[in-house]
Amino acid sequence: MRLWRALENIHGWAGVRSVWREHMGDELEFLQPLLRPMEQLALSVPWPGTIEGRRIVVHDEDDIVAVDEETSEAAAIAREDVVLWQLDASALFRGAASALGLTGETASVGMGTRLWWLGDFVPVEGERFPVYLATTRDAGELVKNAGYVSALSRRPFVLATPTRRAGSEPLSRLIDGRSAAWIALEEALDWRGEGVFEARQPVGEVLRDFVGAHVRLATAEPEARFPTPAGATWGDVRIRFLDGHTVSVQVRERSGRFGYADLGMVNTKNNAPTVAWELLRTIAEERGHLTWASRKASADHRKRKQVLADRLRAFFGIEGDPFEVDDGGWRARFVLEPDA
């Protein structure tokens, strides 16, 4: 689906028909009902064999030419080929927000036209989290957008982008620092044409870890509590996997053997380990340091890391984050070992 990249690539979401066709291909017919003709004509148009295109000169209503700046060669061009078409972004984003089950009226919130409030995500009554859409493809600009949203919102938020092309380490640090969530619309939605979308799965499932971190009713309390010695820190903790479901735990002179349910990482629907447990095991297999260079790295880990940190704090009763940002990833502040 070419829609999402077109949103990132087309400046101001306005262009002549040939520009829209270049980015949308055959899918343009599905977007055409949301394109509105503008009063002004284009100042330049793409032209075969050129990089910058040709400048448009209007002599009369029916006398329009495209001029080569280097050679001054002029070629007649039809008026319909220089009409600018503006995307009705509000209608498009309202459809996306509706498919995601968000509440509220979608609106632009600044940073030009590329930052929008899609609506509020309401996992349970009384709990509302704003969802912002940033459509820039530039990594630096996306960090600025996320920083603006972070300052604008005094509560945890969800950052949506058309794709993940503008992801970066600074963005990951910002999202982790604010306990936010990041979703890509190309992964979450199927486009049916115009402003109609269909969610591939309920947004509550997509944001399950985010909900688990911020909605108390959705957070499973651990069955066990490790007898952590007074004054112990994360540096005193050692976790070693014995198999896929069990770990050996030691904090100073105290030790024990525990399953994933004991650490509060059990899916109550099927009694299987949660994704937080699987992330703990993945980090263990990486010897306590998971970076984006690892073949096991995944964008989903950003959401799951906060839930994992919360579970470990609850189990051990030790304050502070059990992980630190290091070399483009996370490093455990405790000893974490895989099974043999």
Alpha carbon separation from 210 to 79, 141, 180, 207 (Å, rounded) = 51, 24, 7, 5
**SS3 call for 164:** coil
Residue 266 sits at φ, ψ, to 5 deg, of -120, 135
Could you tell me the two tokens for 25?
């291909």
**Residue pair 302/176 in contact by the 8 Å Cβ criterion:** yes
Tens of pLDDT along the chain (340 residues) come to 899 999 999 988 999 999 999 999 999 999 999 999 999 899 999 998 888 889 999 988 889 999 998 888 999 999 999 999 999 999 999 999 999 999 999 999 875 668 999 999 988 767 889 999 999 989 999 999 999 998 888 789 999 999 999 999 999 999 988 889 999 999 999 999 999 999 999 898 899 888 888 875 433 444 578 989 888 999 999 999 999 899 999 999 999 999 998 998 988 777 789 999 999 999 999 889 887 666 665 656 677 888 899 999 999 999 999 998 877 678 999 999 998 7
Q: How far is Cα 300 from Cα 253, in angstroms, rounded to an integer?
A: 36
Contact 158, 129 (CB under 8 A): yes
Cα radius of gyration rounded to whole Å, the chain: 25
DSSP label of 89: H
Q: What pLDDT sits at residue 219?
A: 38
Task: Quote the tokens at residue 34.
Answer: 């949301």
pLDDT at res. 256: 92
Helix axes 301-316, 169-177, angle to 10 degrees: 40
Supply the pTM of this predicted model.
0.61
Q: Give the residue carrying structure tokens 């402003």.
A: 195
Res 218: pLDDT: 34
Q: What is the strand order of the sheet 254-259 is part of?
A: 254-259, 246-251, 237-241, 335-337
Structure tokens at 9: 């690539």
User: Domain coordinates of the chain in residue numbers?
Assistant: 3-87, 89-217, 220-337
Contact criterion met (CB below 8 Å) for 115 and 109: yes
* 244 vs 267: CA distance, rounded Å: 15
- CA–CA dist 138, 107 (Å, integer): 22
State the Cα–Cα distance between residues 238 and 288, nearest whole angstrom: 11
As a whole number of angstroms, the longest Cα–Cα distance in the chain is 89
Distance of CA 123 to the CA centre of its chain: 18
Q: For residues 227 and 259, give the distance between their C-alpha atoms in angstroms, rounded to a whole number.
A: 16
Angle between helices 301-316 and 275-285 (to 10 degrees): 90
State residue 298's pLDDT score: 66
| Predicted local confidence at residue 300, as pLDDT | 61
